[in-house]
């Protein structure tokens, strides 16, 4: 086993190598606006997973994925040449759909805002079904009944005396 700090450093280096190689050496016309987001290497340094995003529609995603798969050998040999590790890690490309997730979350937030606006509009003219403070009325009614019967009013509470 190797130490995790070395695996992280190698992952960063692999991300840089793959990004520059895609930009400078790979001339595949199917390769669209690809951005390398992240890379991760297993602790034994044998496998590297590279996360990427593609700007465009589903057709651009599919074409760029095919271009990355066909350029995998060139990219792996460039990684092996520039890193100098004993075993060159195999490369796996994973499409990161961050853009679609962000758009979906934005739609959900907009739906929640619309629901809140509808609720506020319904609430504008609304009022409580019963008395605004039913407990206070009951307490006043009970004191009035006690006064009619002749029971002395309760002494003021400590809070009332301070006022």
pLDDT digits (tens, 9 = 90+) for 71-81: 999 999 999 99
* 40 touches 48 (CB < 8 A): yes
Nearest to 50 by CA among 22, 17, 19, 91: 91
β-pairing, 33-41 vs 47-55, is: antiparallel
N- to C-terminal Cα separation, the chain:
75
120-143 mean pLDDT: 74
pLDDT of residue 159: 57
pLDDT of residue 156: 58
- Helix residue ranges per DSSP H, 25-97: 58-70, 72-83
The model's pTM: 0.62
Assess whether pLDDT exceeds 70 at residue 61: yes
pLDDT (tens digit per residue) in 19-39: 999 888 888 888 878 889 999
pLDDT of residue 52: 92
Structure tokens at 145: 């009944």
Q: Which two tokens stand for residue 159?
A: 């809070």
Q: Which neighbouring-strand residues pair with 36?
A: 52
Over residues 59-63, mean pLDDT = 89
Greater confidence (53 vs 148) lies with 53
What is the DSSP secondary structure assignment for residue 92, as one 8-state letter?
E
What is the distance between the alpha carbons of residues 12 and 95, in angstroms, rounded to a whole number?
A: 18
Asked if 65 and 92 touch (Cβ cutoff 8 Å), the reply is no
User: Which superfamily, per CATH, for 4-97?
Assistant: K homology (KH) domain (3.30.300.20)
Q: Give the bridge partners for 34, in sequence order.
A: 54
């Amino acid at each position: 086993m190797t130490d995790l700090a070395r695996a992280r450093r190698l992952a960063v280096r692999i991300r840089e190598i793959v990004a520059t190689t895609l930009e400078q050496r790979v001339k595949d016309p199917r390769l669209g606006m690809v951005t390398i987001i992240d890379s991760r290497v297993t602790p034994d340094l044998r496998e590297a997973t590279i996360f990427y995003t593609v700007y465009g529609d589903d057709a651009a995603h599919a074409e760029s994925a095919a271009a990355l798969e066909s350029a995998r050998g060139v990219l792996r040999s460039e990684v092996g040449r520039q890193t100098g590790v004993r075993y060159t890690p195999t490369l796996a490309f994973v499409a990161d759909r961050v853009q679609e997730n962000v758009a979906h979350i934005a739609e959900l937030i907009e739906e929640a805002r619309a629901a809140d606006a509808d609720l506020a509009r319904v609430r504008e003219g609304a009022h409580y079904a019963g008395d605004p403070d039913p407990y206070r009325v009951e307490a006043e009614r009970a004191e009035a009944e006690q006064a009619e019967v002749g029971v002395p009013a309760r002494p003021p509470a400590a809070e009332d005396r301070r006022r």
